[in-house]
Amino acid sequence: MIMNRHARPSTDAMLEDLRTLVEVESPSRDLDAIHASAAAVAAVIEERLGGQAVLIDGPVGPHVHWSGGGSPQVLVLGHHDTVFPLGTLERRPFRVEDGRVLGPGVFDMLGGLVQAIHGLSALDDLTGVEILVTADEEVGSASSRALIEERARACGHVLVFEGAADGGGLKTARKGCGTFEVCVTGRASHAGLEPEAGVNALVEAAHQVVAIQALSRPEIGTTVSPTVASAGTSDNVIPAQATVWVDVRVESNEEKDRVEAAFAGLTPRLEGAALTVRGGVNRPPMPESASRALFELARELQPGIEGVAVGGGSDGNFTGALGIPTLDGLGAVGGGAHADHEFLLVDTMEERANLVTGLVEAIRNRRTA
């Protein structure tokens, strides 16, 4: 059991820790950068909360796990990898201007991590609290999913510190999401001398794009969107290869199954063409039912706070799909995730940290009542 020694959250202290984390750049899959970032996150946790943060190594770098001891009751979940390549910090350094914090990763999601840590630091007793900060959320969480689900089952409640919805709303439901890769194999030939001898992979890909787009059912929340395509080697060669990448978002497991079956059933339109389909909906939908009880607790603590269903995915999809009470969007209030104008609103930091304190206290009190 860890008895805390810190006072209520301070904006200045949070900004100090946020600067520390932002200035250790952490692009996904860059092992050296991710190791340095994990060490920095662990050091901030230990400095503010005491105890020891354990680095759990994986193929894409270390995840950070910390426990306040005792019987686990609530999991604070986040990630320390970011989407920005090394060198972004030189172009967009950490700074505070006109009430905004700017810099790579301040909104998604280093600001949320810092607010969570400082919110926990206001608790006298950290028994039952766990923190898990993963290294691969931005690239699908393949190496962390099993660990996330294990700790979520053990704790029974999950608080996810992804950035807030517009206006500071909490994220009470998320679509399932995933990516499919459709690879077309045709046969090359000279486009001028004997085009009929070839099998045009680009034309076949065009047929498939039309069929794939038709899988969308936006009226029930399903979007199937071809987003990237490549084909051909030269303007006078019938292309032998083409690839199409497709983004998929669904609100139900039934739609997940329908769309995955449809991709598995794609067939070529041109004689001699062949298809290979990879991928799937790797993040299941997070239903509103998973967040309902925790959202009501949050509204008791901050009357008027809104709950929003969103299309983007997070690690909360995994825990919510298991039926474990999960509340997302508890992190930074700001915007511009994955963009150059990413920002965090300074004057919201203490309020969000205080919400962490109140939620953890309320969860533990209800578990022991």
Q: Which residues are catalytic?
A: 81, 137
Distance CA 129, CA 33 (A): 28
Q: Are strands 100-102 and 95-97 parallel, antiparallel or unpaired?
A: antiparallel
Distance CA 79, CA 109 (A): 7
CB 318 within 8 Å of CB 152: yes
What six digits make up the tokens of 123? 């608790």
Amino acid at 43: A
What six digits make up the tokens of 2? 């860890």
Q: Is 214 helix (H, G, I), strand (E, B) or coil?
A: coil
Distance CA 157, CA 74 (A): 5
Q: Is 198 helix (H, G, I), strand (E, B) or coil?
A: coil
Distance CA 172, CA 307 (A): 6
Calculate the CA 128 to chain-centre distance.
25
Distance CA 79, CA 214 (A): 35
DSSP string of 22-77?
HTS--BTT-HHHHHHHHHHHHHHHHHHH-S-PEEE--TT--EEEEE-SSS--EEEE
Distance CA 337, CA 340 (A): 8
- 344 strand-pairing partners: 101, 334
Residue 349, preceding bond cis, omega within 30 degrees? no
